[in-house]
């Protein structure tokens, strides 16, 4: 059974959520709380697998609760709030704080919304329950563990510009902020897929750009991949890379979800395998599910060097774990070590 606790100041919302979730044979709502302080009291004796939390509540807001929870005793948390509309700062703050998913609560008609979106709610709870959480802010200094000889990678020929491709999901907003802030302004050009809905990524890219030496922007169709630039896939659209002579350009286009996501890391990685081969570095980081695992294997088979974030520094180890299982990973690194791997890769070209 998946044990769920609901934290929302509306008794009506708590009741409706409980009704929808307990209609499933594998979900049990073991507790409810009208605000975070009551929730902390209940968490002394109850251990839910998943929390469903509102943002705007009395005595303590949901984001403060989430940040404190992730520092002390992480539990997979879904934010369900009318403030977390697409593209809002609240939604980005919730992702930064460690929420595994964001669901936007309508201002009115919650009952009808939950009935219509029940399948999405249940799927999100099940996915959240399968995640393995780590304390936000925890850093690891362990040595990188190689599962493929670095000498083989260094011997690969490179005849075109280098390129770095990164794929991440849950926990990735904070991980990307940490990583990109470490990179010098002349680093190898990057293309990034972070699982986000439409309208989130532009504000996310702007937030990153304000704090980084490199140029961080939401990708537009035809953008060139250049040193010192990171292009982030727009939410709700796929990002791929094509070669134009000795340069790389991105294609941004619509299409069906791949590996249950749009943008999909698999779409990006497979295009990199075809366009760049051994001139590429692929990095898969914290995230729920398996998107990117097959694409990273394709990159490695094409001669690219591939890196997975280690379990200890991931918020959720799902995506890297699947990539390792499929044999797509040449080296496993802590988050602390990934910026250095990117810098060294650029120096070898």
Active site residues: 169, 195, 291
CA pair distance 102, 84, nearest whole angstrom:
7
CA 42 to chain centre: 29
CA pair distance 96, 98, nearest whole angstrom:
5
**Bridge partner list, 281:** 164, 305
How is the chain split among helix, strand and coil, in percent rounded to 5? 40, 20, 40
CA pair distance 236, 202, nearest whole angstrom:
12
Can you read off the two tokens belonging to residue 56? Answer: 């705007």
CA pair distance 270, 268, nearest whole angstrom:
6
Can you read off the two tokens belonging to residue 115? Answer: 């009935």
CA pair distance 146, 277, nearest whole angstrom:
20
């Amino acid at each position: 059974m998946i044990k769920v606790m609901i934290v929302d100041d509306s008794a009506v919302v708590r009741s409706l959520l409980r009704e929808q979730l307990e209609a499933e044979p594998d979900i049990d709502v073991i507790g409810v709380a009208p605000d975070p302080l009551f929730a902390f009291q209940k968490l002394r004796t109850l251990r839910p697998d998943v929390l469903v939390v509102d943002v705007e509540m009395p005595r303590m807001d949901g984001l403060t609760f989430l940040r404190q929870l992730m520092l002390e005793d992480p539990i997979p948390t879904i934010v369900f709030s009318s403030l977390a509309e697409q593209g809002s700062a609240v939604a980005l703050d919730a992702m930064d704080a460690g929420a595994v998913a964001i669901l936007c609560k309508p201002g009115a008609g919650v009952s009808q919304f939950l009935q219509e979106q029940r399948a999405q709610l249940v799927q999100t709870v099940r996915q959240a329950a399968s995640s393995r959480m780590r304390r936000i802010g925890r850093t690891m200094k362990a040595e990188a563990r190689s599962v493929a000889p670095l000498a083989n990678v260094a011997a690969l020929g490179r005849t075109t510009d280098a390129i770095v491709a990164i794929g991440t999901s849950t926990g990735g907003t904070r991980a990307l902020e940490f990583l990109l802030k470490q990179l010098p302004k002349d680093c190898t050009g990057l293309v990034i897929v972070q699982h986000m809905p439409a309208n989130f990524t532009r504000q996310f890219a702007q937030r990153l750009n304000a704090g980084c030496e490199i140029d961080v922007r939401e990708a537009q169709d035809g953008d060139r991949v250049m040193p010192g630039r990171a292009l982030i896939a727009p939410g709700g659209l796929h990002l791929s890379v094509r070669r134009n002579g000795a340069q790389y350009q991105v294609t941004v286009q619509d299409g069906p979800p791949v590996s249950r996501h749009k943008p999909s890391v698999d779409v990006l990685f497979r295009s990199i395998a075809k366009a760049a081969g051994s001139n590429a570095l692929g990095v898969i980081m914290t995230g729920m599910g398996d998107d990117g695992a097959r694409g990273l294997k394709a990159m490695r088979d094409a001669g690219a060097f591939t890196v997975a974030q280690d379990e200890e520094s991931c918020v959720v180890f799902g995506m890297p774990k699947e990539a390792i299982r499929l044999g797509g990973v040449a080296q496993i690194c802590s988050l602390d070590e990934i910026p250095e791997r990117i810098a060294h890769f650029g120096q070898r070209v």
